[in-house]
Amino acid sequence: MLEILFLLLPIAAGYGWYMGRRSVRHKQSNQRKQLSRDYFTGLNFLLSNESDKAVDLFITMLDVDDETIDTHLSLGSLFRKRGEVDRSIRIHQNLIARPSLTNEQRDIAMMELGKDYLAAGFYDRAEEIFLNLVKQEDHSEDAETHLIDIYQVTKEWQKAINIIKSLKRKRQQSLKHSAAHFYCELANEETNTANQIKLLQSALKQDPQCGRALLTLAEKHLDSGEHTRCKELLAKLLEADIELFPDSLAIARQAYHDSKDLNGYSELLRQAIQNGAGASVVVTLAKNMIEQGDLPEAEQLVLDRLYRNPTMKSFQHLMQMHVQQAEDGQAKDSLTMLEKLVEQQIKFRPGYRCSECGFPSHRLYWHCPSCKSWGKIKRIRGLDGE
C-alpha cells in the first residue's frame, strides 16, 4: 500500500502544477477580458460626453497594467486639445505619481503636464517644470521652446533671449529673427535713449535685416538731430525690408527737409519705387513733385503707376490732382464727391495683413495677435493696398 502511495505522489504533484497553471491562465484571461470591457466602457463614456467618468475609469485601469501608460499620455493630450485641461492635468499628475515609471517615462509625463499648465495659463507652474527638464542632460529642445513661449506671454524678454543663447548654434540661427524683436521690445521698455540705441544695435547683430530695428533706430537718430545717420539707416531699410519702407515716410521727409536735402529726398523715393515700393511711396513722390511746381510730371508718374499696378490709393490721388485743376461747377463737385467716396473705401479696408495666417489689421503690429509670429504683418498688396 505504501508503495502505491509513493507511485501516486508524482502524479499528484503534476496535477497540482497543472491546476495552478490553469488557474493563473484563467485569472490572466479574466483580467484581459475585464481590461477590454473597461476600455470599451471608457470609450462609451467619452462618446456620451461623460468625460469625468471616462477619466476616473482610465485612471483606475492604470493601476492594473503599466502598458497603458502610452494610452493615457495620448488620452491626456486629447483632452488638452479639446480644451478640457483640468482632466488632462489629472491624468498626467496621476502618471507622475507612479513609482514604477522609468526616468524617460516620467520626463515625458512631466513635459505633458507642463503643456497642460501652459494651456491653462498657469505660467509659473509650467515654467518650473520646463526649467527642471532643461537641466536633464538628454532633454529635447521642446522644453526651451515652451519656455520662450512663456516668456513672450509674460513679456520677460531678457529671459527669452537667455534661453536662445543657451541653445545650439543651428537652433540659435533659426530664432535670430525672434531674438531681434525681443531686443526691440526691451528697447521699448527702456527710458534712456543711449540704452535704447544699444539694444536696437544688439537686435541688428542678431538679425541685420530686421526692418523694425532699422526703422526705430532711424527715428531715434532723427530725434537726436543726427540726420546723416538717420538717412544711412533709411537707405539700409530700402535694401533690408522694402515692404516696411512706407512706414518710414514721415521720418524720411523730416530728416531730408531738416537737412535741406530735397534732391536727396526725391532720389530716395525714386530708389524705393525702383526697389518695389507700393502706392504710398508713389503718392508721396507725386506730392513732392507738386510742391516743387511740377504738376504734369507728377500726374504722369501716377498714371504710369496705375497702368502697371492699379490701386485705390493712386486712383484717389489722381482724382485729387484733377479736382485741383478742374473749374468750379457740377463736374468738379461730382469729381470731389467721387474722390471722397474712394477715400472712405480706403479707410474702411484693412491696410495690413499677416503673411503667415492672413490676419487683417488697420495698423502695424510687430507681433501678430493671431498666430504670434514676429514681423510678418505687412502692408497689403493689390487694388485695396499698395
The pLDDT value recorded for residue 284 is: 92
Which three three-digit cell numbers place residue 96?
507622475
Q: Is the pLDDT of residue 244 over 70?
A: yes
Q: Which residues are paired to 379 by β-bridges?
A: 352
Dist CA 282 CA 119 (whole Å): 46
Phi, psi of 84 (to 5 degrees): -95, 70
Q: What is the pLDDT of residues 77-102, one digit of tens each?
A: 888 888 888 888 988 888 888 887 88
User: Helix 249-258 vs helix 211-223: angle between axes, to the nearest 10 degrees?
Assistant: 30
Count of positions (residues) in the chain:
386
Percentage, residues of the chain above pLDDT 70: 82
Q: What is the pLDDT of residues 211-228, one digit of tens each?
A: 999 999 999 999 999 999
Which three three-digit cell numbers place residue 294?
511740377
Sign of CA dihedral 384, 378, 155, 89: positive
Dist CA 134 CA 164 (whole Å): 13
Taking phi over 0 as left and psi of -120 to 50 as alpha, with beta for the rest, 122 belongs to beta
At 203, is the pLDDT very low, low, confident or very high (cuts 50, 70, 90)? very high
Q: Is the pLDDT of residue 355 over 70?
A: yes
Dist CA 295 CA 330 (whole Å): 23
Which of 339, 336, 299, 337 minimizes the C-alpha distance to 316? 339
Phi, psi of 364 (to 5 degrees): -85, 125
The helix/strand/coil state of 374 is strand
Alpha carbons within 13 A on the beta-carbon side of 311: 25
At 40, is the pLDDT very low, low, confident or very high (cuts 50, 70, 90)? low
Q: Is the pLDDT of residue 67 over 60?
A: yes
Q: Which residues, at least 6 apart from 257, have a Cβ–Cβ distance to it below 8 Å?
A: 265
At 335, is the pLDDT very low, low, confident or very high (cuts 50, 70, 90)? confident
At 9, is the pLDDT very low, low, confident or very high (cuts 50, 70, 90)? very low
Q: What is the pLDDT of residues 260-280, one digit of tens each?
A: 999 999 999 999 999 988 899
| Separation of first and last alpha carbons in the chain | 112
The helix/strand/coil state of 122 is coil
Q: CA of 137: how far to CAs of 103, 127, 133, in Å?
A: 12, 18, 9
* Full-model pTM: 0.79
Taking phi over 0 as left and psi of -120 to 50 as alpha, with beta for the rest, 241 belongs to beta
The pLDDT value recorded for residue 103 is: 85
The pLDDT value recorded for residue 53 is: 63
Q: Is the pLDDT of residue 328 over 90?
A: no
At 8, is the pLDDT very low, low, confident or very high (cuts 50, 70, 90)? very low
The pLDDT value recorded for residue 57 is: 61
Residue boundaries of the structural domains of the chain: 47-154, 278-348, 349-386
User: Helix 279-291 vs helix 262-274: angle between axes, to the nearest 10 degrees?
Assistant: 150
Q: Say yes or no: domain 47-154 is CATH 1.25.40.10.
A: yes
Q: Is the pLDDT of residue 42 over 70?
A: no
